[in-house]
């Protein structure tokens, strides 16, 4: 990890909520939702690393979408064409097995 990215990540921990929201607008280009401070920090940290090193590959994104479709099918949910960023859901599949999926470029895995 480059020193510049490390410094930016360390700086996030010391920013106020207002400064984190300003950084969000700079890095993501939208107004942040009503997230807690820790959520803002983790999503901004992901975005900084994504910009520096690249995001998930197209094949990884396709695999995640396929898993989401499978879980929705198994749980009886109808597929939706529009997914919310940061959509998170947990479903029990086949008894005690669970699956959690985070979707969107800002989701932290």
Predicted TM-score (pTM) of the model is 0.56
pLDDT given for residue 103 in this prediction: 54
Ramachandran category for residue 16: left, alpha or beta (phi over 0 → left; psi -120 to 50 → alpha): beta
Angle, vertex CA 85, rays to CA 48 and CA 52, nearest 5? 15
Tens digit of pLDDT for each residue in 45-92? 999 998 898 888 889 888 999 998 888 888 876 655 544 444 444 455
> How many residues are listed for the chain in this entry?
109
Nearest C-alpha neighbor of 109 from the set 11, 43, 20, 53 = 43
Segment 26-43, tens digit of pLDDT: 999 999 888 889 999 999
The domain ranges of the chain are 3-53, 58-102
Q: What is the dihedral of CA 16, 22, 32, 64, to 10 degrees?
A: -100
Q: Is the pLDDT of residue 22 over 60?
A: yes
What b/e readout covers 44-67, taking b as 16+ CB neighbours within 10 angstroms? bbbbbbeeeeeeeeeeeeeebeee
């Amino acid at each position: 990890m480059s020193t510049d990215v490390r410094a930016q990540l360390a700086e996030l921990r010391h920013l106020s909520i207002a400064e984190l929201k300003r950084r969000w607008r700079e890095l993501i280009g939208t107004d942040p939702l009503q997230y807690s401070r820790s959520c803002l920090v983790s999503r901004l940290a992901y975005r900084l690393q994504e910009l520096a090193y690249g995001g998930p590959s197209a094949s990884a994104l396709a695999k995640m979408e396929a898993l989401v479709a499978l879980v929705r099918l198994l749980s009886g949910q109808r597929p939706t064409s529009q997914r919310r960023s940061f959509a998170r859901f947990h479903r029990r599949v086949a008894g005690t097995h669970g699956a959690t999926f985070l979707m969107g470029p800002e989701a932290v895995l």
